[in-house]
């Protein structure tokens, strides 16, 4: 990384957790990712979800068709794990380079997770095969048991699943604890072996639960896992600022139309991609840890996945910007509101 007080040039980053959706939403949101990131791990929670190599190939083609002509963006596809996933299908997809990873959603934990896993015994054969072939498992780490308080679901998942049996029974399995939101998550990953990593979103580094709920309810700050109390946000900021290579960039950018968020039962998800890299830069600067920014954004993820880092660079300058307003979804008579829309940022991307 080359830095001056007013300029940061880093190897081009990747986004290790991204929702791109499909159809006009896909073509609306993808250019924002392609403008900054070399690759992204694309979440499979479409309706219906992406569960086979054939579906992943077809979805990858739709994504590539929507990539702007001046971009080399590469989508990395994931397989949605269900109670019926066939280990042979997973292995075939991995060996053929179609699937980069498998995504585990506990059933009903989050948006479009109805096809997720209902009983852990149903996935043991798949996990054993993935451990054997070195294929990463990406985990939405929230217990979906309705008796568990929503703010305790990540901690409960760590206790009941990750610590209790998964890391014990499959000690070599590569696991990414996605979008961590708690000190428990950060501690678990820090203390685990190098086969366990975590993605951290920009929003969980910036907002706490007060931001969602004080002075009025803010649907555009609602996502899952929900932001926790301030001590947890501080723990996440310290985790990324420590330079520990287990933590890497994953925006969990999850666009929903304004209509679907500002309603009686609004969807979970924050669309943060237009400004995510600038928000991360601000956080590292506030933590006096800019020397670790590039590894978090551009090296720790590829190292975990056993891939080369990108070769191009991305440059940010200390240029004030106002975050863009609502982005229209063509033909939908609706729009998507970016995270922190209308607020001001001290860094701007000036070039790839
Ligand atoms: C995601 C979505 O909308 O697909 N929502 C979210 O709040 N993050 C699903 C997910 O990643 O949990
Ligand atoms: Zn997600």
Asked whether the beta carbons of 96 and 56 are under 8 A apart, the reply is: no
Residue 209 belongs to a domain: yes
Residue 328 belongs to a domain: no
Provide the H-helix boundaries in the chain: 23-34, 53-66, 87-95, 124-133, 153-157, 167-169, 183-191, 202-206, 209-213, 230-241, 258-261, 276-286, 293-294, 300-305
Asked whether the beta carbons of 137 and 127 are under 8 A apart, the reply is: yes
The whole-number mean pLDDT for each consecutive block of 10 residues of the chain, a chain of 352 residues, reads 87 98 98 98 96 98 97 98 97 98 90 85 98 98 94 98 97 98 98 98 98 97 98 98 98 98 98 98 97 98 98 97 97 97 97 86
Do the bridges between strand 39-42 and strand 74-80 make them parallel or antiparallel, or are there none, so unpaired? parallel
Residue 112 has what pLDDT? 72
- Whole-angstrom distance, CA of residue 158 vs CA of residue 242: 22
Distance 267 CA to ligand 2 centre (A): 12
Distance 78 CA to ligand 1 centre (A): 15
Catalytic residue among 14, 15, 184, 252: 252
Residue 176 belongs to a domain: yes
70 catalytic, yes or no? no
Residue 85 has what pLDDT? 97
Residue 335 belongs to a domain: no
Residue 325 belongs to a domain: no
Give me the number of domains the chain comprises.
1
Residue 10 belongs to a domain: no
Pocket test for ligand 1, best of 269, 272, 273 (most atoms within 8 A of CB): 269
Residue 201 belongs to a domain: yes
Alpha carbon of residue 326 to chain centroid:
22
Residues framing ligand 1 (Cβ under 6 A): 19, 45, 110-112, 140, 223-224, 252, 254, 268-269
3-state secondary structure of 26: helix
Structural domain including 223 reads 15-309
Query: pTM of the prediction?
Result: 0.97
Residue 332 belongs to a domain: no
Which CATH number does the domain housing residue 222 bear? Answer: 3.20.20.140
């Amino acid at each position: 990384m080359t830095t001056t007080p007013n300029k940061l040039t880093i190897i081009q980053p990747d986004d290790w957790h991204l929702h791109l959706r499909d159809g006009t939403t896909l073509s609306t949101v993808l250019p924002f990712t392609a403008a900054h990131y070399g690759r992204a791990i694309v979440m499979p929670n479409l309706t219906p979800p992406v569960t086979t190599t054939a579906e992943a190939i077809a979805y990858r083609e739709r994504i590539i068709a929507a990539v702007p002509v001046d971009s080399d963006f590469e989508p990395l596809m994931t397989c949605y794990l269900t109670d019926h996933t066939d280990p042979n299908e997973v292995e075939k997809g991995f060996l053929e380079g179609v699937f980069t990873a498998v995504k585990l959603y506990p059933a009903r934990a989050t948006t479009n997770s109805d096809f997720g896993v209902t009983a852990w015994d149903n996935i043991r054969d798949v996990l054993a095969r993935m451990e054997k072939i070195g294929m990463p498992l990406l985990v939405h780490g929230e217990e979906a048991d309705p008796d568990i308080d929503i703010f305790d679901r990540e901690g409960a998942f760590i206790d009941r699943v990750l610590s209790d049996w998964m890391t014990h029974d499959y000690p070599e399995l590569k696991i990414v604890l996605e979008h961590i939101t708690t000190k428990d998550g950060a501690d678990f990953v820090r203390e685990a072996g190098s086969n366990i990593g975590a993605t951290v979103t920009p929003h969980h580094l910036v907002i706490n639960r007060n931001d969602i709920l004080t002075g009025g309810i803010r649907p555009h700050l609602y996502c899952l896992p929900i932001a926790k109390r301030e001590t947890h946000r501080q723990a996440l900021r310290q985790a990324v600022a420590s330079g520990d290579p287990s933590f890497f960039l994953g925006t969990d950018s999850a666009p929903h139309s304004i209509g679907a968020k500002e309603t009686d039962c609004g969807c979970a998800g924050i669309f943060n991609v237009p400004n995510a890299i600038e928000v991360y830069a601000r956080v590292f600067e506030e933590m006096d840890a800019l020397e670790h920014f590039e590894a978090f954004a551009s090296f720790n993820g590829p190292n975990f996945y056993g891939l080369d880092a990108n070769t191009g660079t991305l440059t940010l300058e200390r240029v004030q910007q106002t975050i863009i307003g609502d982005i229209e979804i063509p033909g939908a008579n609706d729009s998507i509101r970016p995270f922190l829309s209308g607020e001001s940022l001290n860094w701007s991307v000036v070039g790839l």
